[in-house]
């Protein structure tokens, strides 16, 4: 009998050590390093308490996907104030905001892109490419052999990834793009919110009373703070509810575009995930591809305030 117990203990200890070793390998250190470089270079990141204020209020409850109602655990908007003059004074934000009304919300409705909208897309990318954040991302991708050093070719690569129209709903025309899904948001069959992972769009939709913040999502031992730059939230938008959405808060559009571009181009998987330690947060970064374009991209908050350390 003792030999049997010894063998079982050996198996258990072996499993524990294997688990410990595996867990230590889960964080992608290379991506963590380059993303933290980009974080430090993001001089256009807004400061909580100075350039904007949020009110987290209550913790949202569980609701299934496809719900049209949810108990509201936040009687007030998430954003209590945003310095719009500051936003408009920064070129990338100002040009970014011009793009937010260029899309049809519903999938299945073909997008019609005007010449003026193409000009706006290019103007935004030109501004992004001038930032230290995207310049560093470009150098990293050149080093990985994933992008050409020629700036025009890199811009074309970014345009195809983010702005190329494609079919998300097979019944309609070209009705979606990576930019629309991630930064603007879409609805599917009038029953489901898709995308909308950008804090500026969230704020602007709240301001127009089209979006209603329902509360934050977090584990009991990891409640967020008002100065956090990454949040999991629940909200309703045009009569539909998103059970949980993850988004950066306060970061610049070039930062988001840079990190998701790196994750997308350094993998060939249909869905790519990577756990990274970024500033005081541990995140699971997710990118889903639609051919050579981005289908969706978002950060999933695993822990904040260095609780993972």
Catalytic residue list: 181, 197, 242
Query: Torsions phi, psi of 84, nearest 5?
Result: -70, -30
| Sequence-ordered list of residues with C-beta below 8 angstroms from that of 288, at least 6 positions apart, any chain | 270, 271, 272, 294, 295, 296, 297
Angle between helices 115-129 and 253-265 (to 10 degrees): 90
Which sign does the torsion angle of CA 245, 40, 283, 161 carry? positive
Helix (H, G, I), strand (E, B) or coil at 27: strand
For every residue of 125-176, DSSP letters joined together read HHHHHTSHHHHHHHHHHHHTTSS-S-HHHHHHHHHHHHH--B-SSTTSSS-B
* DSSP track, 86-114: HHHHSHHHHHHHTTTTSS-SBTTS-----
What separation in angstroms does the CA of 212 have from each of 70, 124, 200?
A: 11, 28, 14
Distance of CA 39 to the CA centre of its chain: 14
Q: Which residues pair with 274 in a beta bridge?
A: 285
Question: Which region holds residue 32: left if phi is over 0, alpha if psi is between -120 and 50, else beta?
Answer: alpha
Q: Is 209 left (phi over 0), alpha (psi -120 to 50) or beta?
A: left
Q: How many Å apart are CA 214 and CA 77, to the nearest integer?
A: 9
Residue 160: both structure tokens together: 């195809």
Please list, in sequence order, all residues whose beta carbon lies within 8 angstroms of the beta carbon of residue 207, skipping any fewer than 6 positions away.
Answer: 77, 79
């Amino acid at each position: 009998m003792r030999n049997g117990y010894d063998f079982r203990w050996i198996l258990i200890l072996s499993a524990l050590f294997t688990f410990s070793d595996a867990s230590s390998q889960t964080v992608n250190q290379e991506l963590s390093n380059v993303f933290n470089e980009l974080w430090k270079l993001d001089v256009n990141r807004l400061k909580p308490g100075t350039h904007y204020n949020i009110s987290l209020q209550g913790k949202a409850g569980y609701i299934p996907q496809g719900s049209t109602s949810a108990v509201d655990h936040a009687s007030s908007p998430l954003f209590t104030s945003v310095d719009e003059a500051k936003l408009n004074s920064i070129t990338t934000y100002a040009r970014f905001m011009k793009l937010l009304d260029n899309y049809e919300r519903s999938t299945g409705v073909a997008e019609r892109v005007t010449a003026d909208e193409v000009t706006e897309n290019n103007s935004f990318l030109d501004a992004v490419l001038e930032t230290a954040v995207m310049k560093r991302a470009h150098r990293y991708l050149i080093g990985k052999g994933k992008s050409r050093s020629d700036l025009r070719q890199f811009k074309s690569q970014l345009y195809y990834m983010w702005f190329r129209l494609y079919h998300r709903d097979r019944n309609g025309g070209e009705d979606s793009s990576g930019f629309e899904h991630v930064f603007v948001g879409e609805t599917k069959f009038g029953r489901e919110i898709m995308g909308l992972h950008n804090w500026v769009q969230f704020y602007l939709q709240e301001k127009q009373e089209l979006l209603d913040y329902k509360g934050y999502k977090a584990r009991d031992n990891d409640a967020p703070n008002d100065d956090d730059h990454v949040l999991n939230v629940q909200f309703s938008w045009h009569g539909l509810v998103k059970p949980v959405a993850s988004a950066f808060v306060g970061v610049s559009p070039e930062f988001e575009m840079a990190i998701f571009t790196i994750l997308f181009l350094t993998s060939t998987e249909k869905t790519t995930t990577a756990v990274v330690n970024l500033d005081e947060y541990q995140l699971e970064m997710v990118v889903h591809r639609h051919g050579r374009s981005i289908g969706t991209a978002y950060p999933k908050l695993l822990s904040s305030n260095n609780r993972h350390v």
